[in-house]
Structure 1
Amino acid sequence: MSKHQFFIAGTDTDVGKTLIATAILHAANQQGLSTLALKPVAAGCEQTGQGLRNSDALLLQQTMSIALPYEQVNPVALQAAIAPHIAAEQEGKRLSLARLVGFCRGALMQPADFALIEGAGGWRVPLNARETMAGLAKELNTPVILVVGMKLGCINHALLTAEAIAHDGVPLAGWVANQLDAEMPCYQENINTLKSLLRAPCLGEVPRLAEPRADLASSYLNIDLVIKR
């Protein structure tokens, strides 16, 4: 079991969860912590000689310091880049919370100082007719780091997501502002509003990077805000 364990959630799909997750891992690596990351469900995988592979899961695997086989990092790989429950149905598979929890618990038995579990899409992405991805963070009792995609509408998305996280009884450990729109109007005013209304520390503001790399993004983060020594 990891000393520090967090679930990476996003205010929407394509808000940069993987960039921020790898940046956090890089920052933890730089502090000498052993790191591990999981992407339990990935939709949007390519067929390779080794089987289905997802670019986000591969980035996590490459950035973390502990070596795990791909199948442990991403146990459920789906080909179509659509909602996971729909992709699974098209491929004749069924997603279940119990299986995902089992996969994660198995991988998390690996001793690590710091572990991340990256969700898919937003907080309420369905796994099946009854269960959502949010149940994974709840069952694993894992605090959330929320990636807020900074664009018009982000305040509503962030506050609704934080409300849902609180409703599910999961702690919001912190949040990261990831600037999706380099020309976002009233960027600072939006940040100020989020800082005043979200009841968790802001771990950093990552600008729109010409080259979205973990090492570059990590320089904008302060993970000490969530690491209790």
Structure 2
Amino acid sequence: MAKHTYFVTGTDTGVGKTMASAAILEAAKAAGKRTLGMKPIASGCDQTPDGLRNEDALALQKAMTESLAYDLINPVTLEPAIAPHVAAAQAGKTITAQRLIGFCRGLQMRPADLMLVEGAGGWRVPLNDRETFAAVPRELEMPVILVVALKLGSINHAMLTAEAIRADGLRIAGWVANRPEQEPMSCERETLEYLLNHLGAPCLGVLPWVASGDPAELAVNLELQPLFEN
């Protein structure tokens, strides 16, 4: 079984969850760890000769050490790049937390040192009218890695998300700060200092903007020891 499994969420959509997840997988690979990654549900998939494919899931597939069929990495594919519950309704599909939990448990049975499960959007993104994605890590009792985009409003978004995660009974194992734009935000240093002092979880690293978008290039900015201590 996977020795350490974490759920990766973000303070919002488009904050760099996939980039951070792939960089963590690359850093773990460089440390000699066996890794798995999955994105149980993805909207914004492209039609290919092999079926619907999502670029985020493909990035995880490339970064992990273990060879997996795409359907195990991204079992629920939705074409429109919109909220998953809306995309599913348009496709005539029903998404339930229990279904996604089953996919996660299946992959957890495979041997690995580290497994990442990347969510969609933020912590409270809906799966249907009754459930949010948070039900999945909550049922599986997965510690959480929080990705924080360094932009205006990041402190409020980070603190509220951390509050919601803990209110759901889960531990924040660490957080990653990601710079989504080439130019740093105004008062970036002060923002980082506040988060370091108030988030109450170890910072795994600060990811700079890189032109290549290569997770392996970003991996050198991460310190993963907190993920392997428990």
Same fold judged by TM-score > 0.5? yes
Question: What's 1:45 paired with?
Answer: 45
Question: What's 2:175 paired with?
Answer: 175
Q: CA deviation at 1:119?
A: 0.3
Match runs of 1:141-160 below 5 Å: 141-160=141-160
1:75 aligns with 2:75: yes
Stretches of structure 1 that go unaligned for 5 or more consecutive residues are none
- Partner letter of residue 119 of structure 1? G
Question: What's 2:8 paired with?
Answer: 8
The CA distance in 2 between the partners of 1:196 and 1:203, in whole Å, is: 14
- Superposed CA deviations along residues 26-66 of structure 1, whole A, max 9, x for unmatched, are 11111111100010010000011111000000110111111
- Partner letter of residue 85 of structure 1? H
Question: Which of structure 1's runs of 4+ aligned residues deviate more than 6 A?
Answer: none
- Superposed CA deviations along residues 159-188 of structure 1, whole A, max 9, x for unmatched, are 000000000001100000001232310000
Question: What's 1:59 paired with?
Answer: 59
The CA distance in 2 between the partners of 1:208 and 1:113, in whole Å, is: 28
Q: How many residues align?
A: 229
TM-score normalised to structure 1 length: 0.98
Q: 46-55 or 208-217, which moves further after superposition? A: 208-217
Q: CA deviation at 1:74?
A: 0.2
Q: CA deviation at 1:132?
A: 0.6
Question: What's 1:96 paired with?
Answer: 96
- Partner letter of residue 187 of structure 2? C
- Superposed CA deviations along residues 175-212 of structure 1, whole A, max 9, x for unmatched, are 00001232310000000011111010111111121121
The CA distance in 1 between the partners of 2:197 and 2:40, in whole Å, is: 33
The CA distance in 2 between the partners of 1:4 and 1:105, in whole Å, is: 13
- Partner letter of residue 151 of structure 1? K
The CA distance in 1 between the partners of 2:187 and 2:32, in whole Å, is: 38
1:138 aligns with 2:109: no
RMSD: 0.9
Q: What percent identity do the matched residue pairs reach? A: 53
The CA distance in 1 between the partners of 2:76 and 2:159, in whole Å, is: 30
Stretches of structure 2 that go unaligned for 5 or more consecutive residues are none
The CA distance in 1 between the partners of 2:45 and 2:59, in whole Å, is: 13
The CA distance in 1 between the partners of 2:213 and 2:150, in whole Å, is: 15
